[in-house]
């Protein structure tokens, strides 16, 4: 597991590009985000409008770690770590990752806020600090107030530390659940997250990831001013997220199998009903096309209903996106592909070799049907004639 995660980046399409760009966005995130927060708190609230620029590098880095986790869930994938391209998708995944962390930390923040507000209300209201300190001193001695304050602070620190430790262990499991489906609600599903976090392989992967982060940051800290340390810290996080995904892969596969077995009867009934409905609609469309003599139109309706599915960009909840070319095209390792998956270059199909006779016949039938329709509707062949001389307006 550790060897596969540590060497994954060496098996990507552009290792040098990932390291350089990843280190750059990490450095920008470390610099711009604190400056933006300080500007909002101490300069002017209007600085908040610069959030898209200040937070973009951090979101890109977070989105890439989500992509690394998603790639590591499939350990049989020989491609290694993914390329750092398609920044629109990275920003979306990074924003979801930040929201996931905020949702998991919300109970801690809420508890601290409520506790602080309660103490402030008691001090400002019915509780007199001087009289309380006097009562504690009379009961516990001269050092009583200091001892009570130390115990209270230690208790709060212990609770906060326990919560943060649990967060550090559970948050990667939630991230893996989110990365596997691309839906934020899966990362916030307690049952899914618990199923992942309670497995031995995930615990092993998490422990190895903690070790990788500790070693990586220990090496990166002295060289951070030379910028080299920033790249080392980025690589350590890549290895850690690869370990998260590989450790949780087994639990996710078992959970998917269990859900599929549970939903199979309902899905079969639903598929049968939808299949019958599609058959009825297709038969109706075919009869209507035959009645009007449009056999070619019926064929096109059938092709539209059973068309090639749109490629899906991972990490967006299964919604099809065409805004960006695939990663191999962006890094210069491939060419664009058509709907059939064959390479297209210079207007010719490269992957398939020969054109499909069925496609040619369909095109011919469509063009013949269109010509027949035009001929029937316009005997003149589409040419617009002027007024006939025999129909000239009588000038007399």
Q: Which residue has the higher pLDDT, 158 or 9?
A: 158
Q: Which residue has the higher pLDDT, 227 or 220?
A: 220
**Ranges 29-38, 73-82, 150-159: which has the least confidence:** 73-82
pLDDT (0 to 100) of residue 12: 81
Phi, psi for 193 (deg, rounded to 5):
-65, -40
Average pLDDT over residues 146-155: 88
pLDDT (0 to 100) of residue 154: 93
pLDDT (0 to 100) of residue 13: 76
Is the pLDDT at 273 greater than 90? The verdict is no
State how far the Cα of 244 lies from the Cα of 72, in Å rounded to an integer: 8
pLDDT (0 to 100) of residue 77: 56
Is the pLDDT at 390 greater than 50? The verdict is no
**Residue 148 pLDDT level (bands cut at 50, 70, 90):** confident
* Digit-coded pLDDT (tens) for 204-222: 999 999 999 999 999 999 8
**Residue 396 pLDDT level (bands cut at 50, 70, 90):** very low
Q: Which residue has the higher pLDDT, 235 or 15?
A: 235
Going from the C-alpha of 61 to that of each of 73, 82, 222, the distances in angstroms are: 19, 13, 22
Verdict on whether the full-model pTM lies above 0.85: no
pLDDT (0 to 100) of residue 371: 52
Is the pLDDT at 153 greater than 80? The verdict is yes
Average pLDDT over residues 94-108: 95
Is the pLDDT at 38 greater than 70? The verdict is yes
pLDDT (0 to 100) of residue 112: 92
Average pLDDT over residues 44-53: 91
Q: Which residue has the higher pLDDT, 12 or 311?
A: 12
Is the pLDDT at 134 greater than 70? The verdict is yes
**Residue 311 pLDDT level (bands cut at 50, 70, 90):** very low
pLDDT (0 to 100) of residue 55: 93
pLDDT (0 to 100) of residue 324: 58
The answer to whether 96 and 174 are in contact (CB under 8 A) is no
Q: Please, is 317 exposed, middle or buried when counting C-beta atoms within 10 Å of its C-beta (0-12, 13-18, 19+)?
A: middle
State how far the Cα of 51 lies from the Cα of 311, in Å rounded to an integer: 32
pLDDT (0 to 100) of residue 24: 93
**Residue 368 pLDDT level (bands cut at 50, 70, 90):** low
pLDDT (0 to 100) of residue 57: 94
Helices (H) and strands (E) in the chain, counts: 13, 2
Give the DSSP H/E element, type plus range, for residue 344: strand 344-345
Average pLDDT over residues 317-326: 50
pLDDT (0 to 100) of residue 199: 92
Q: Which residue has the higher pLDDT, 43 or 351?
A: 43
Q: How far apart are the first and last CA of the chain?
A: 100
**Ranges 143-147, 264-268, 286-290: which has the least confidence:** 264-268
pLDDT (0 to 100) of residue 305: 45
Report the percent of the chain where pLDDT is more than 90: 39
Q: Which two tokens stand for residue 355?
A: 């054109």
Q: Which residue has the higher pLDDT, 108 or 301?
A: 108
Is the pLDDT at 73 greater than 50? The verdict is yes
**Ranges 89-103, 213-227, 234-248, 346-360: which has the least confidence:** 346-360
Going from the C-alpha of 151 to that of each of 61, 129, 147, 242, the distances in angstroms are: 40, 17, 6, 41
Average pLDDT over residues 228-241: 93
Is the pLDDT at 118 greater than 90? The verdict is no
State how far the Cα of 128 lies from the Cα of 145, in Å rounded to an integer: 14
The answer to whether 94 and 63 are in contact (CB under 8 A) is yes
Computed over every residue of the chain, the mean pLDDT equals 75
């Amino acid at each position: 597991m550790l060897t596969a995660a540590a060497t994954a980046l060496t098996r990507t399409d552009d290792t040098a590009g990932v390291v350089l760009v990843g280190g750059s966005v990490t450095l920008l995130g470390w610099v711009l985000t604190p400056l933006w927060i300080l500007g909002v708190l101490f300069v002017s609230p209007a600085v908040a409008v610069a959030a898209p620029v200040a937070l973009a590098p951090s979101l890109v880095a977070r989105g890439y770690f989500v992509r690394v986790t998603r790639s590591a869930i499939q350990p049989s994938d020989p491609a290694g770590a993914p390329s750092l391209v398609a920044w629109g998708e990275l920003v979306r995944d990074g924003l979801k990752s930040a929201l996931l962390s905020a949702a998991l930390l919300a109970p801690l923040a809420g508890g601290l806020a409520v506790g602080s507000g309660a103490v402030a209300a008691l001090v400002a209201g019915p509780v007199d600090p001087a009289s309380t300190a006097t009562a504690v001193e009379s009961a516990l001695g001269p050092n009583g107030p200091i001892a009570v304050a130390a115990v209270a602070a230690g208790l709060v620190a212990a609770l906060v530390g326990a919560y943060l430790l649990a967060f550090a262990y559970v948050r990667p499991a939630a991230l893996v659940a989110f990365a596997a489906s691309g839906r934020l609600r899966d990362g916030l599903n307690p049952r899914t997250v618990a199923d992942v976090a309670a497995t031995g392989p995930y615990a092993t992967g998490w422990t190895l990831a903690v070790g990788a982060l500790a070693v990586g940051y220990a090496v990166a800290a002295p060289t951070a001013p030379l910028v080299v340390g920033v790249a080392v810290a980025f690589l350590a996080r890549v290895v850690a997220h690869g370990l998260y995904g590989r450790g949780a892969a087994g639990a996710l596969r078992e959970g998917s199998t269990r859900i599929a077995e549970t939903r199979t009867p309902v899905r079969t009934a639903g598929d049968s009903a939808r299949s019958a409905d599609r058959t009825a609609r297709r038969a109706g469309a075919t009869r209507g096309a035959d009645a009007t003599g449009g056999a070619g139109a019926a064929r096109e309706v059938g092709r539209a209903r059973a068309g090639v599915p749109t490629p899906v960009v991972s990490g967006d909840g299964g919604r099809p996106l065409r805004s960006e070319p695939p990663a191999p095209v962006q890094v210069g390792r491939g060419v664009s592909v058509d709907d059939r998956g064959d390479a297209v270059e210079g207007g010719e199909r490269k992957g398939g070799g020969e054109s499909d006779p069925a496609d040619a016949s369909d095109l011919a039938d469509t063009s013949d049907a269109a010509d027949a329709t035009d001929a029937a509707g316009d005997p003149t062949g589409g040419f617009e004639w002027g007024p006939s001389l025999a129909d000239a307006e009588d000038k007399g």
